[in-house]
Amino acid sequence: TEGEIDILVCGIGTGGTLSGVARYLKEKKPDVKIIAVDPIGSVFYDYFKTGKLPKTEVYKVEGIGEDYLVKAVDFSIIDDIIQVNDDESFRMTRRLCREEGIFAGGSSGSAISAAMKVAANLTEPKNIIVILPDSGSR
């Protein structure tokens, strides 16, 4: 991309990776869009959208999502949060392995699924960077 990043898609768990990378990118390019990915059942999506903590539900994807608010999450730099369910996350991991040779885990499947949703709604070409934080060995 030669440093041209329009959109970052990253899972949200402890908030460390998302907040750190997003702060750096926003310093370099303030109009970069930061999209967090949250499993259905976690608290982040509802809290971001409503400011209220929802009742949590069980989800199987590891490494993203939480049952409580984590202090390291900087919601002020997040432009949107996309929810992804377990089924689409794990289906995407198999697709990544089969079609791209990428042996990634569930949170990576969630991130790619969310990125594909973002891409489907674009009206012009954009460079989307997706962080794949885990391997398929889990």
Write the pLDDT tens digit of every residue in 34-73. Answer: 999 999 999 999 999 999 999 888 999 999 999 999 989 9
pTM: 0.93
DSSP characters for 52-111? SPPPP------SS--SS--TT--GGG--EEEEE-HHHHHHHHHHIIIII---B-HHHHHH
For 7-130, CATH number? 3.40.50.1100
pLDDT tens-digit readout, 101-120: 999 999 999 999 999 999 99
**What's the CA gap between 116 and 36, in Å, rounded?**
13
